[in-house]
Amino acid sequence: MADASGNIEAKNYGFDIPVEKKSFFLKGLDNFDWGIKDRMSRIFDVKSGKTVMLAFDHGYIMGPTSGLERIDLGILPLVEYADCLMCTRGVLRSCIPPDVNKPISLRCSAGTTVLTELNDECIIDIEESIRMNASAMAIMVSVGGKYEATTIRNLTKIVDLGMKYSIPVLGVTAVGKELARDSRYLSMASRVCAENGAAFVKTYYCEEGFNKVVAACPVPIVIAGGKKLDEDKALEVAYKAISDGAAGVDMGRNVFQAQDPIAMIQAVRAVVHDGAKPDKAFELYNDLKK
Ligand code: R5P
């Protein structure tokens, strides 16, 4: 029972000190709930406002992708350098020890592999995300594709559920073979994700007008790395994306398929968090390379 008689008198009211009003450090999220902001603050570095997410969810559509044959050998040595891990529940349960204590962007849509065209995508139960302590739920959205409606419905459903439990949603823009990855398309796809409630969006970098893609998206954008490039080129892409306003990267193949993935993820960190120029980051890569 509280001891009323022994209480110290309350007197530190700071009458002359106004309460500090602070905007949330990530754009567009001021009016989101506390739990969502808390989770986003685990994914994004509060000081730099950026993130280096490590994507290794490729197996859910591609099977044992090069570099991901053995998650314990290919990915675990990289985990300490990643701000967030993006993977499926299967690999998370089987291969990632919970004591790595990294925020998880859980791949929550499924239904198609590379052996067929995109078709009947579904979403996994919200309870799985809660059980896996996900910091975000990643949903693939195919704007302009044959199954656009299905994937947008999945996004809206998972946002509804995410809002209920304060788990932010990452809208992942899938670009069909028939669609151009230009700023016009990427702006539209990213904007559609944000308009439907995604707290952040993962899309591709494009050479022309990526600053417009970022500017027209009201929430943070992270870029996917895409197909494997030479290490210096991949660092250049990361640098240009960050210079154009991206809030980070969610890279997979350009990290785990690099000649030296541990050196590569550290070089990417230098670009994203420290603003290193691509040539400096490549120098760092070469210095760290075994
Ligand atoms: C794509 O749907 C997957 O979610 C990957 O996580 C994504 O493409 C990022 O990987 P990468 O950098 O290899 O493109």
Give the mean pLDDT of 176-184: 86
Q: Is the pLDDT of residue 145 over 70?
A: yes
Which residues does 114 contact at the CB level (< 8 Å), separation at least 6?
A: 61, 62
The preferred substitution site among 51, 56, 57 for testing ligand 1, maximizing ligand atoms within 8 Å of CB, is 57
Instruction: Report pLDDT digits (tens) over 80-133.
Output: 999 999 999 999 999 999 999 999 999 998 888 888 887 788 899 999 999 999
Report which protein residue has its CA nearest ligand 1's atom 3.
Answer: 58
Q: How confident is the model at residue 1 (pLDDT cuts 50, 70, 90)?
A: low
How far does the centroid of ligand 1 lie from the alpha carbon of residue 84, in Å? 14
How far does the centroid of ligand 1 lie from the alpha carbon of residue 74, in Å? 16
Query: Which CATH architecture group holds 34-258?
Result: Alpha-Beta Barrel (3.20)
How far does the centroid of ligand 1 lie from the alpha carbon of residue 229, in Å? 14
Q: How confident is the model at residue 169 (pLDDT cuts 50, 70, 90)?
A: very high
Catalytic residue among 50, 102, 202, 240: 202
171 lines ligand 1 (CB under 6 A): no
67 lines ligand 1 (CB under 6 A): no
For residue 191, give the 3-state DSSP assignment: helix
Structural domain boundaries in the chain: 34-258
Between 175 and 6, the higher pLDDT residue: 175
Give the mean pLDDT of 182-203: 97
Rounded Cα distance between 235 and 258, Å, is 11
Instruction: Report pLDDT digits (tens) over 206-262.
Output: 999 999 999 999 999 999 999 999 999 999 999 999 999 999 999 999 999 999 999
86 lines ligand 1 (CB under 6 A): yes
267 lines ligand 1 (CB under 6 A): no
Contact 193, 155 (CB under 8 A): yes
222 lines ligand 1 (CB under 6 A): no
Instruction: Report pLDDT digits (tens) over 267-282.
Output: 999 999 999 999 999 9
Average pLDDT of the chain, as a whole number: 95
Whole-prediction pTM: 0.95
Retrieve residue 222's tokens.
């992270």
Q: Has 290 been annotated as catalytic?
A: no
Per-residue pLDDT, 3: 67
Per-residue pLDDT, 22: 92
The preferred substitution site among 112, 143, 250 for testing ligand 1, maximizing ligand atoms within 8 Å of CB, is 250
How far does the centroid of ligand 1 lie from the alpha carbon of residue 251, in Å? 7
Rounded Cα distance between 37 and 26, Å, is 9
252 lines ligand 1 (CB under 6 A): yes
User: How many beta carbons lie within 10 A of that of residue 222, not counting itself?
Assistant: 28
Q: Is the pLDDT of residue 2 over 70?
A: no
For the chain, give the percent of residues with pLDDT over 90.
86
How far does the centroid of ligand 1 lie from the alpha carbon of residue 54, in Å? 9
Give the mean pLDDT of 47-66: 95
Give the mean pLDDT of 168-189: 92
Report which protein residue has its CA nearest ligand 1's atom 6.
Answer: 55
Q: Is the pLDDT of residue 56 over 70?
A: yes
User: How many beta carbons lie within 10 A of that of residue 130, not counting itself?
Assistant: 12
